[in-house]
A and B are shown apart, each in its own frame.
Chain A
Amino acid sequence: MTERLAMLAPLALPLLILLPLAWAALAFVLGTGRGSRLAIAAAAVQLMLAFALASAVMDGGPLHHAAGGWGAPLGIDLVADGLAAAMLLLTQAVALPLFIFARGYFHQDGARPDAAGHHFWPLAGFLVAGMNALYLSEDIFNLYVTLELVGLAAVGLVASGGGAAQTAAALRYLFAALLGSGAYLLGVALLYGAFGSVSMATLTPLIAGASASAGAGASEVALIAALLMMAGLLMKSALFPFHFWLPPAHGGAPAPVSALLSALVVKASIYLVLRLWLGPLAPLLTPLAWLPTLLGTAAILWGSWRAIHAERLKLLVAYSTVAQLGYLFLALPLVGVGSTGASASAILTLQALAHGLGKAAMFAAAGIIIHATGRDRVDDVAGIAERLPLTLFTFALAGVSLMGLPPSGGFLAKWLLIDLAMARGHWPLVAVILAGGLLAAIYIFRVLRLAFLNLPEAVIEAEHHKARVVPRSAEWMAFTLAAASVLLGLFGGLPLLQLVDGVGAGEGVTSGVTSGLVPGLTSGAVVGAP
Chain B
Amino acid sequence: MSGALLYAIAGVLLFAAGAAGVVLLDHLLRRVLAFNIMGSGACLVLVGLAQRNGIPDPVPQAMVLTGIVVAVAATGLALALIRRLHAQTGHADGKTEEERVKGETGAGCSLPASHSVAGRGDD
Number of interface residues, chain B, beta carbon within 8 A: 48
Query: In the complex, what distance in Å separates the CA atom of A397 from the CA atom of B64?
Result: 47
Q: Which of A156, A171, A186, A247 has a CB less than 8 Å from the CB of B15?
A: A186
Q: Which residue of B lies closest to A310 (CB)?
A: B122
Taking CB atoms and an 8 Å cut-off, the chain B residues in 59-89 that contact chain A are 59-60, 63, 66-67, 70, 73-74, 77-78, 81-82, 84-85, 88-89
Q: Which residue of B lies closest to A242 (CB)?
A: B118
Q: Which of A170, A194, A309, A315 has a CB less than 8 Å from the CB of B81?
A: A170
Flag if B114 contacts A244 (CB, 8 Å).
yes
Given contacts A174-B78, A315-B121, contact A167 B84 (CB under 8 A): yes
Flag if A74 contacts B59 (CB, 8 Å).
yes
Flag if B23 contacts A179 (CB, 8 Å).
yes
Query: In the complex, what distance in Å separates the CA atom of A194 from the CA atom of B8?
Result: 12
Q: Which residue of B lies closest to A164 (CB)?
A: B88
Q: Which of A190, A198, A311 gathers the greatest number of chain B CB atoms within 10 Å? A: A190
B119 to chain A, nearest CB (A): 8
Flag if B49 contacts A189 (CB, 8 Å).
yes
Flag if B115 contacts A244 (CB, 8 Å).
yes
Given contacts A152-B73, A179-B23, A243-B118, contact A171 B46 (CB under 8 A): no
Taking CB atoms and an 8 Å cut-off, the chain B residues in 25-65 that contact chain A are 28, 31, 35, 38-39, 41-43, 45-46, 48-50, 52, 57, 59-60, 63
A393 to chain B, nearest CB (A): 26
B90 to chain A, nearest CB (A): 10
Q: Which of A168, A175, A193, A319 has a CB less than 8 Å from the CB of B22?
A: A175
Q: Which of A193, A251, A311 has a CB less than 8 Å from the CB of B49?
A: A193
Chain A residues near B82 (CB, 8 Å)?
171
Does any Cβ of B come within 8 Å of A234's Cβ? no
The B interface is mostly helix, strand or loop, or mixed, namely helix
Q: Which residue of A lies closest to B16 (CB)?
A: A186
Flag if A148 contacts B70 (CB, 8 Å).
yes
B109 to chain A, nearest CB (A): 16
Chain A's interface size range is 35 or more
Chain A residues near B59 (CB, 8 Å)?
73-74, 192, 198
Flag if A192 contacts B118 (CB, 8 Å).
no
B3 to chain A, nearest CB (A): 13
Q: Which of A193, A311, A312 has a CB less than 8 Å from the CB of B8?
A: A193
Flag if A174 contacts B74 (CB, 8 Å).
yes
Q: Which residue of B lies closest to A311 (CB)?
A: B122
Chain A residues near B42 (CB, 8 Å)?
182, 185-186, 189
Flag if A182 contacts B15 (CB, 8 Å).
yes
Given contacts A179-B22, A182-B42, A310-B122, contact A190 B49 (CB under 8 A): yes
Query: In the complex, what distance in Å separates the CA atom of A172 from the CA atom of B95?
Result: 10
Chain B residues near A60 (CB, 8 Å)?
none
A489 to chain B, nearest CB (A): 31
Given contacts A164-B88, A182-B38, contact A245 B114 (CB under 8 A): yes
Does any Cβ of B come within 8 Å of A176's Cβ? yes
Chain A residues near B66 (CB, 8 Å)?
141, 145
Query: In the complex, what distance in Å separates the CA atom of A164 from the CA atom of B82?
Result: 10
Query: In the complex, what distance in Å separates the CA atom of A179 from the CA atom of B74?
Result: 11
Q: A168-B94, A189-B50, A192-B49 are in contact. List 6 more A-B contacts (CB 8 A).
A: A148-B70, A164-B88, A164-B89, A175-B22, A176-B114, A179-B22
